[in-house]
Amino acid sequence: MKFCSDCHAPPQPAVHQAKEWPNVLYRMQERRRMKAYELMSDEELAVLTDYLERHAKEGEQ
């Protein structure tokens, strides 16, 4: 996944619970902005968020 591996190895979805992923992606988008990397589109973010949430760590809500 290029959007993540520009900076580090793409993380496993299970490193976060579903409810945490939108926040993490927001932070990473801000990091792309600071580096002047091409931003993820709303659609790309939606697909990524959906994938990460569906494979996220189980846990108490």
Site for ligand HEC, rule CB under 6 A: 3-4, 6-8, 11, 15-16, 24-25, 27-28, 31-32, 35, 37, 48
Closest CB 61 distance from ligand HEC, rounded Å? 18
C-alpha 27/C-alpha 33 separation (Å) is 10
Closest CB 19 distance from ligand HEC, rounded Å? 13
Whether 16 and 7 have beta carbons less than 8 Å apart is answered as no
Whether 52 and 13 have beta carbons less than 8 Å apart is answered as yes
Instruction: Select 9 or 60, whichever has its Cβ closest to ligand HEC.
Output: 9
